[in-house]
Amino acid sequence: AQKVTQAQTEISVVEKEDVTLDCVYETRDTTYYLFWYKQPPSGELVFLIRRNSFDEQNEISGRYSWNFQKSTSSFNFTITASQVVDSAVYFCALSTTTSGTYKYIFGTGTRLKVLA
Amino acid sequence: GAVVSQHPSRVICKSGTSVKIECRSLDFQATTMFWYRQFPKQSLMLMATSNEGSKATYEQGVEKDKFLINHASLTLSTLTVTSAHPEDSSFYICSARDPLRGHSYEQYFGPGTRLTVT
C-alpha cells in the first residue's frame, strides 16, 4: 500500500526560528518520486521540490532544505530562519507508477504558523 | 512552462443546478489530467484521472454520474458537478501531466476553483 504520513497537524513558531516538517512514506515500488508543496491561503499549490528514489542527496535552496533518507522512508523539510510569509499548509506527496498511473498520494498536510 | 489554468476561480450556484469547471494546459499537451477535491483544512482527495479521448477513471466512492469529467482535447478537461447540493461545496483542483517532460511523474497544478452551492 502507498501512504504518506505527516504526523504534525499544526506547528507554531516565532519568526527566525528553524522548523522541520516531517514526512514519512510507504511504498513497495523501487522507483518513485517525492514532492513538497506549499499551499498559502489563496489555495494555489506551490511546487517546492521533487526528489526521485535513486537520489538521496540532500538539497538546499535558500532557507529551505530537505533531508531524504530511504532507510527510514522519510523526506523531511526544514525552513531556516522562518518568516511570517512561510505561514501556509505544507503537503508532502508520493508518486509511483502503480497500476500504470502516476497518481499522487498526499499527506494530510502540516499547517505552519510563523508568528511575528 | 507547464502552466495549468482553471476557470472559473470562484463560482456560486443554486442547489439543483449544474456547474462546469474547466482545466486547461496552456503551454503543453496533457494526455492525463487529474481532478482533486479539498475540504477546508483537509488534504487533497483524488476524484478521478482523465485521459484524453477515453473515459475517466474514478476513485472509489466518487459518484460518476454526479461528477462528469470530459477530456476531449489534449489541453482541456472539464468537470461538471450535476445537480449540485450544498455538500458539494468545496475547493476543486485540477492537475496535468506532461509526458514529454523528463520528470513524467510530476503533476502541474491549476490554481483551483472554489465552488459554493447555496
How do residues A80-110 score in pLDDT, each as one tens digit? 999 999 999 999 999 987 766 788 999 999 9
DSSP string, chain A: --EEE---SEEEEETT--EEE--EEE-S-SS-EEEEEEE-TT---EEEEEEETT----EEETTEEEEEEGGGTEEEEEESS--GGG-EEEEEEEE--GGGS--EEE---EEEEEE-
Cα angle, residue B91 at apex, residues B89 and B94 outer, rounded to 5°: 130
What is the distance in angstroms between the Cα of A69 and the nearest Cα belonging to chain B? 20
By DSSP bridging, strand A10-14 and strand A110-115 are parallel
CB-closest option in A37, A103, A106 to B49: A103
If one compares A58 and A110, the residue with the highest pLDDT of the two is: A110
Residues of A in contact with B103 (CB under 8 A): 33, 50
pLDDT band at A8 (very low <50, low <70, confident <90, very high): very high
Q: Enumerate residues 6+ apart whose C-beta is below 8 A from B25.
A: B2, B3, B4, B33, B74, B75, B76, B96, B98, B108
How do residues B8-60 score in pLDDT, each as one tens digit? 999 999 999 999 999 999 999 998 999 999 999 899 999 999 988 888 999 99
B46 touches chain A (CB under 8 A): yes
Residues of B in contact with A96 (CB under 8 A): 105
> Would the CB atoms of A108 and B44 count as touching at under 8 Å?
no
The pLDDT of B73-88, averaged and rounded, is 96
Q: Which pLDDT score, from 0 to 100, does residue A100 have?
A: 65
B114 touches chain A (CB under 8 A): yes
CB-closest option in A35, A50, A91 to B43: A91
Residues of B in contact with A91 (CB under 8 A): 43-44
B28 touches chain A (CB under 8 A): no
Residues of B in contact with A107 (CB under 8 A): 43
What is the distance in angstroms between the Cα of A96 and the nearest Cα belonging to chain B? 7
Write down the residue that cell numbers 502552466 correspond to.
Answer: B3
Taking the C-alpha atoms of residue B117 and residue A80, their distance in angstroms, rounded to an integer, is: 41
Say how many CB pairs under 8 Å bridge A and B.
55
Q: Which pLDDT score, from 0 to 100, does residue A22 have?
A: 98
Q: Under a CB-based contact definition with an 8 Å cutoff, are residues A93 and B105 in contact? A: no
Asked if residue A30 has pLDDT above 70, the reply is yes
The grid cell for B90 is 468545496
What is the distance in angstroms between the Cα of A9 and the nearest Cα belonging to chain B? 10
Q: Which pLDDT score, from 0 to 100, does residue A70 have?
A: 94
Taking the C-alpha atoms of residue B94 and residue B35, their distance in angstroms, rounded to an integer, is: 4
Asked if residue B104 has pLDDT above 70, the reply is no
